[in-house]
Amino acid sequence: MLTCLAGGRVVDPAHDRDRIGDVWIRDGRVVEAPQGGGSADARHDVSGKIVMAGGIDIHSHIAGANVNTARLLLPEYHRAALARPEATPLASAGWSTFATGCLYAGMGFTTVVEPAVAPHHALHAHLELADVPIIDKAILAVLGNDDVLLGLIHARESASAVRDYVAWALETSRALGVKVVNAGGAAAFKSNLREFSLDDVVPYYGVSSRQIVKTLQHAVHDLGVPHPLHVHCNNLGIAGSADTALATIAAAEGLPLHLAHLQFYGYGKDGARGFSSHAARLAEAVNGASSVTIDVGQVMFGPTVTISSDVLRQFNARDRAQPRKWVIFDGDSNGGGIVPYDYRVDDFYNAVQWAVGLELFLLIDDPWRVFFTTDHPNGAPFTAYPEIFALLMDRGVRDEWIARLPAEAMAVTTLPSISREYSVTEIATMTRAAPARLLGLADRGHLGPGAVADIAVYDDVTDRAAMFRNAALVFKDGELVVRDGKVTRRRWGRAFAVRPEHDRAIDRRMRDYYDGRYGLSPEFMTVPDSAIGRPDPFELVPCIT
């Protein structure tokens, strides 16, 4: 079946394209226009609309044991949301897996990455993702607080031994990449340490956080995993965390490194309250470090819940829980902390946080290296994305918001003075072309011939929030799935995973390890195809050779 999207403004930064034209689809792929002007079986007149590839969200906590604990912790939030859907906590965030897929698709997103899955919980995460309709998905496997890795570093084992282990973990978890969360911090917390910085050392192993990050960075890179090591730095959320982020950026040393939700590290200690924005310093460092990518983790106002594998940080934040309840999970390596929180427009600190995220977006020059996230739900639910697009694209909208926030908070940031407005092409780069490249998805994020036909069509209206809230049309693998923000056809996507080449001797080594430590076979952490219950549940992403 040949489909034509006719006469739209086609924005495809991967091919330097922003002009009126047609997009042709056949058998789930974008194809060249037929020779001799053949006619389409299905033709959509998209004149006056913007056509781009489907959105790709690289960091959103949508599935797995920690996410599910958050659901079970807060039934009052989604009960309230269902009764009064407009203005209540997490109002439209969609608690269930089904709602998650539909809401994302309605906004024109076609791929979402769950960024933090403990390998022992990979099966759980994949089961949840299998019940998220329409979108393609992936998980990142969390390493860096596990006894195996810390033991390998402590014993000064070879780089190839580390690579074999990392490859084994990726393969067993069926993950797309590796995440490290407060490297060494969760292990240190189990030994009763209450703070942990880049050069602090994990008791017993004598290994520093920096060593763990560097070891994983090299292993991921040398294995040819397309996605760089994805780093949640130490000291998230505290005044002065900018120093930690800067030190971690410097630690990249020219190799690829991705820093997650950088907004939470954008704080200095200046001013009467000892809390200020250092976003400008961070932006400058990111601009100067061409191998580094970041995602923002934008804060927006309203009640939400923080879900994180940074057990230490969440434990330290527990007294600020709103409502006053929280779960701290000491997992086998990392674990989880679920702490509800309310970002308030009248709160000095929250207002600074909101500004820091926007400063990062606006002061980092290269839209290929800054990624659009709220660290859902930690900064805000993903349903806040349309409002954030409006803030980035329209200085007037920003000024309206700034006028409603505490002036003393705005005074410790540079935001009021920033006039930059994101263009449609820059948005398409940041949310489509760049994430596809960062994840190694060569046939997504663009509209060239051969691309998978994951396509979003938007009405070109001045109210950019309205534009991005309800996509006019969304195609997934060439099938129409959304019309005017509403899902019209339910179908199931795939989970991306990498399987780097490595020496299989690790299998035996890991069987012996699990037998010794737990009296168990590592079978318990595998993800059998048959368990997923969907046709073709996985898609292998090639490693870089």
> By the criterion CB under 8 A, which residues form the site for another protein?
63, 65, 67-69, 71-75, 78-79, 82, 95-99, 120-121, 123-124, 127-128, 131, 147, 150-151, 187, 189-192, 204-205, 315, 321, 325-332, 335, 517-520, 523-526, 528, 530-531, 533
Query: How near is the Cβ of 220 to another protein at its closest, in Å?
Result: 24
Tokens of 335: 């674990």
Query: How near is the Cβ of 211 to another protein at its closest, in Å?
Result: 16
Query: Which amino acid appears at position 280 of this protein?
Result: A
* Comparison of 218 and 318: residue with beta carbon closer to another protein: 318
* Comparison of 265 and 492: residue with beta carbon closer to another protein: 492
Q: How far is CA 283 from CA 193, 225, 270, 437, in A?
A: 31, 26, 18, 21
What is the CA 525 to chain-centroid distance, rounded? 23
Query: How near is the Cβ of 372 to another protein at its closest, in Å?
Result: 25
Query: How near is the Cβ of 123 to another protein at its closest, in Å?
Result: 5
In contact, 354 and 405? CB cutoff 8 Å: yes
Query: How near is the Cβ of 191 to another protein at its closest, in Å?
Result: 8
Query: How near is the Cβ of 325 to another protein at its closest, in Å?
Result: 4
* Comparison of 174 and 278: residue with beta carbon closer to another protein: 174
Q: Report the run of H or E that residue 457 belongs to, with start and end.
A: strand 455-459
Phi-psi region of 347 (alpha: psi -120 to 50; beta: other; left: phi over 0): beta
Query: DSSP character for 452?
Result: B
Q: Report the run of H or E that residue 53 belongs to, with start and end.
A: strand 49-53
In contact, 327 and 301? CB cutoff 8 Å: no
Q: What is the 3-state secondary structure (H, E, C) of 333-388?
A: CCEEEEEEEEECCCCHHHHHHHHHHHHHHHHCCCCCCEECCCCCCCCCCHHHHHHH
* Comparison of 47 and 96: residue with beta carbon closer to another protein: 96
* Comparison of 188 and 352: residue with beta carbon closer to another protein: 188
Tokens of 286: 């990111």
* Comparison of 81 and 473: residue with beta carbon closer to another protein: 81
Name beta bridge partners: 475: 455, 480
Query: How near is the Cβ of 375 to another protein at its closest, in Å?
Result: 20
Query: How near is the Cβ of 185 to another protein at its closest, in Å?
Result: 14
In contact, 487 and 106? CB cutoff 8 Å: yes
Nearest to 143 by CA among 169, 106, 163: 169
Q: How far is CA 316 from CA 196, 320, 349, 386, 458, in A?
A: 12, 9, 17, 32, 43
* Comparison of 87 and 531: residue with beta carbon closer to another protein: 531
* Comparison of 69 and 287: residue with beta carbon closer to another protein: 69
* Comparison of 68 and 413: residue with beta carbon closer to another protein: 68
| Number of other residues whose CB lies within 10 A of the CB of residue 76 | 11
| CA 430 – CA 13 distance, rounded (Å) | 10
* Comparison of 292 and 312: residue with beta carbon closer to another protein: 312
Query: How near is the Cβ of 455 to another protein at its closest, in Å?
Result: 25
| CA 467 – CA 480 distance, rounded (Å) | 18
| CA 442 – CA 434 distance, rounded (Å) | 11
Query: How near is the Cβ of 339 to another protein at its closest, in Å?
Result: 9
